[in-house]
Amino acid sequence: MIESPEKRIALLIDADNAPASKIELILPEIARFGVANVRRAYGNWKSPHLKGWEAVLHTHAIRPMQQFAYSSGKNASDMAMVVDAMDLLYARNLDGFAIVSSDADFTPLVMRLLTDGMKVYGFGEKKTPEPFVNACSKFTYVEALGAPRAADDVSSATAPKDGKALRGDTRLVQLLRGAVDSAADDDGWAHLGAVGKQVANQASFDSRNYGYRKLSDLIRATDLFEVRQVEQVIYVRDKPRNKPAPAAAPKAKPKAGG
Secondary structure of residue 190 in the 3-state scheme: strand
Give pLDDT tens digits for 77-134: 788 899 999 999 999 899 999 999 999 999 999 999 999 999 999 999 989 999 999 8
pLDDT of residue 156: 45
> Is 109 in a helix, a strand, or coil?
helix
pLDDT number for residue 148: 39
- The region that residue 18 occupies, defined by phi over 0 for left and psi between -120 and 50 for alpha, beta otherwise, is beta
* Neighbour tally for 9: CB within 10 Å: 24
Predicted local distance difference test score (pLDDT) of residue 41? 95
With beta carbons less than 8 A apart as the criterion, state whether 34 and 8 touch.
Answer: yes
Between CA 13 and CA 85 the distance in angstroms is: 11
* DSSP-based three-state secondary structure for 97: strand
Is the pLDDT confidence value at 153 over 50?
A: no
Domains, the chain? 8-145 (3.40.50.1010), 163-238 (3.30.420.610)
Q: What pLDDT, on the 0 to 100 scale, is given for residue 155?
A: 42
List pLDDT tens digits, range 221-247.
999 999 998 888 899 999 887 655 555
Q: Is pLDDT above 70 for 23?
A: yes
Q: What percentage of the chain's residues is helix, strand, coil (to nearest 5)?
A: 40, 20, 40
Measuring CA to CA, which residue among 78, 11, 61 is closest to residue 38?
Answer: 11
CB-based contact 105:128 (threshold 8 Å): no
Integer Cα distance of 38 and 215 in angstroms? 30
| pLDDT for residue 107 | 94
Is-contact 21 148, C-beta < 8 A?
yes
Strands 225-230 and 233-238: antiparallel
Radius of gyration of the chain (CA): 24
Using the 8-state DSSP alphabet, how is residue 125 labeled?
-
- pLDDT at position 27: 92
Residue 256 above 80 pLDDT? Answer: no
Each residue's pLDDT tens digit, 42-79 = 998 888 888 889 889 988 999 999 876 655 545 667 88
What's the pLDDT at 150? 39
> Percentage of residues in the chain with pLDDT exceeding 90?
39
**Alpha carbons 220 and 10: distance in angstroms, whole number:** 35
CA distance 219 to 239: 12
Flag whether pLDDT at 165 surpasses 60. Answer: yes
Q: Residue 157: what pLDDT? A: 58
- Name beta bridge partners: 140: 123
